Structure 1
Amino acid sequence: MAPNHSGKSETPDRAPLAVEGDAYAFCTTCAFSSACVAAGYDKRELAELHCLIEHVGPFEPGAHVFRAGDRFRSIYAVRSGMVKTMTMGVDGREHVLGFYLPSEVVGLNAIYPERYPCDAIALEETEFCRFSFPAMSELAARVPIVLQHLLRMLSKELGMASHLAGDHTADERMAAFLVDLGERYMRLGVRDWHFRLSMSRTDIANHLRLASETVSRVLGRFRAQQLVYIEGRDVQLLDPTRMRALASPVLDP
């Protein structure tokens, strides 16, 4: 358990489970709520969007949400849990594309050519809001904020992938990964940069294009420099400012 400011130990906050909304408010992990509320919409005004939602799951750890080559019909907004996306190379090696937390959307990269280009696999017990994409597209044509938010989410996903494609050091890649993940957990209400790594070290290494041994060495170095506290899968960023500076070549190219 990681130390807090009082010197006591406590377990890390987990990403909150989705709390159902009501006639006026969106679900707490709704992938569209922040954009819609910011634009002045409430749930009553977006009743059509709400009617598109189908709750699916839970998917157990290791279960496929969809597989590469499946026909694209839906996008999946994570309600609880975590998902990884991956492809299999011609050499049989796995390549991890990304990790998705509650309120984030999986499947946007399948819009063209209307087939999922990757597998999506639950890393822990995971539930989703599933949206029919043809129905979503029709709604987006009539409600601009929905289209704008879809494009923003797609742009963000493409942007992070391009950042990792750059010529960065192992320390920069790992720092960027931890800062980005910590910021996403913080937006979900997790406190003090204290979160749990649901993915394996091998998945992290694969995603960052590093060897597993390199990931272990970098994390050990960060721990020795008092940048992070690590116990098993529990992580706390002890000096987010220094860590953000180290990550800046990746996050702010």
Structure 2
Amino acid sequence: MLRPRIIPCLLVHKGGLVKTVGFDKPKYVGDPLNAVRIFNEKEVDELMVVDIDATREGRDPDYALIRSMAAECRMPLAYGGGVRTVEQFQRIVGLGVEKVAVSAAAVNDPALITAAAERVGRQSIVVVMDVRRKRSKWEVFTHNGTRATGLDAAEFARRAEQLGAGEIVVNSIDQDGQMKGYDLDLVRSVRGATSRPLTVLGGAGKLTDIAGLVREFGIIGAAAGSLFVFKGIYRAVLINYPQRADKDALIASA
């Protein structure tokens, strides 16, 4: 039986685990491998790891780090950052990663989505859309939110599905790190454009934000960064995740 997934998202910057606000001002919050070990103990549904330096710096993924994380990880792992060729997709999947995410490469070379899906399987292809609201539309940005593409988020999600994406991640730049709730209008727009599994990121500040997302959209991925690395009004660094019983109650209440 398919169920909503609650997904911590870890950002890697200069080898460390960080959290951003509005895709800016990265704050160091710990060691990525240590975070993976803690999330193992907490039995998370899935883990998403994004290297926020690789694409901006034009370099390859850090395969040594990916290998180490995959070896430690006891839950499905999604990795993104610096991926731009079919061979990189294949290499990363070969290291034990279940899903490989692309953003800028999917915009610059949409045919990559199809080629990668044919090589490693549609289920392993995740297209990430970092989105900023501009008046009445939502525009896709790349390179950590610094490059506008002119692409409408819903239209690009529809196109990505047609090309072979197995999953779509929609990430609100405006809500990133704000902990004030998801942009549900953005989610509605994208959900109406694609039938692929959808994961939402950006803005969750409390577990009721996740419950509200699930209540409206049903089987969906609810991803968060700050919610699972900060605790309390002063945002003390403390990796956390709801216990199984609390998670089941959360989903049941939605």
Shorter chain as normaliser: what TM range? under 0.3
The answer to which structure, 1 or 2, has the higher relative contact order (CA under 8 A, 6+ apart) is 1
TM-score (norm 1): 0.26
Bigger fraction of residues in strand? 2
